[in-house]
Amino acid sequence: MSILQNAIDSIELGVEDHKSNDPKRLLSAVRNFYAGILLLFKHKLALLSQDDDEALLKQRILPAEEDGKIVWKGNGNKTVDFQQIQERFKSLKIKVNWKRLKKAQDYRNNIEHYYDKEKTKPEVVQQYISGCFIIICDFIRTQLNEDPKGLFESEIWDSLIQENEVHLADKRACCGAMEKLEWISDVNLRMFDEFICPECGSDLIEPIEDDSTEAAEKSFQCRICDEEWSYEELLPLACEKESEGDHSIIMDGGNATFAYCPECSEEYYHTIDYICVNCGAEGPYHCLRCGTQIPYEELSVDDGGMCGYCYHITNKDD
Ligand SMILES: [Zn+2]
Ligand SMILES: [Zn+2]
Ligand SMILES: [Zn+2]
Tens-digit pLDDT profile for residues 209-234: 988 888 888 999 999 999 999 999 99
What are 148-158's pLDDT values in tens digits? 999 999 999 99
Mean pLDDT of 19-28: 91
Query: Which residues pair with residue 70 across a beta bridge?
Result: 65
Residue 235's pLDDT band, with cuts at 50, 70 and 90, is very high
Percent of the chain whose predicted confidence (pLDDT) is above 90: 66
Helix axes 186-194, 154-179, angle to 10 degrees: 140
Give which of 136, 112, 129 is closest to 170, Cα–Cα.
Answer: 129
Q: Count Cβ neighbours within 10 Å for each residue of 10-41 and write b for 16 or more, e otherwise.
A: bbbbbbebbeeeebebbbbbbbbbbbbbbbbb
Residue 273 C-alpha to ligand 1 middle, in angstroms? Answer: 28
Task: Provide the angle, in degrees to the nearest 10, between the axes of the packed helices 23-48 and 122-142.
Answer: 10
Q: What's the rounded mean pLDDT across residues 19-40?
A: 94
The ligand whose atoms approach the alpha carbon of 301 most closely is 2
CA 64 to chain CA centroid, nearest Å = 40
If you average pLDDT over every residue of the chain, what do you get? 91
Residues 145-150: what's their mean pLDDT?
94
CA of 315 to the centre of ligand 3 (A): 12
- Name residue 66's beta-bridge partners: 69
Going from N- to C-terminal start, the domains of the chain cover: 3-170, 180-244, 254-318
Ligand nearest to the CA of 206: 1
CB-based neighbours (< 5 A) of ligand 2, an ion: 261, 263-264, 276, 278-279, 281
Residue 1's Cβ-side half-sphere holds a number of Cα atoms within 13 Å equal to 9
Collapsed DSSP state (helix, strand, coil) of residue 89: helix
Which pLDDT tens digit goes with each residue over 169-207? Answer: 999 999 999 999 988 999 999 999 999 999 899 999 999
Computed on alpha carbons and rounded to an integer, the radius of gyration of the chain in Å comes to 25
Q: At residue 164, what is the residue type? A: N
Residue 308 has pLDDT above 70, yes or no: yes
Other beta carbons within 10 angstroms of residue 224's beta carbon come to 21
Mean pLDDT within 291-307: 87
Q: How many CA atoms lie within 13 A of 16 on its CB side?
A: 9
Q: Rounded to two decimals, what is the model's pTM?
A: 0.82
Say yes or no to pLDDT of 318 above 70: no
Percent of the chain with pLDDT over 70: 98
d(Cα 306, Cα 287) in Å, to the nearest integer? 4
304 alpha carbon, closest ligand: 3
To 5 degrees, how large is the angle CA 279–CA 281–CA 286?
Answer: 150
pLDDT, average across residues 252-256? 90
**Cis ω before 284 (30° cut-off from 0):** yes
Residues 44-89: pLDDT tens digits? 999 988 766 788 888 888 888 888 888 888 888 888 888 999 999 9
Considering every ligand atom shown, identify the ligand nearest to the alpha carbon of residue 295 and give its number: 3
Predicted pLDDT at 258: 95
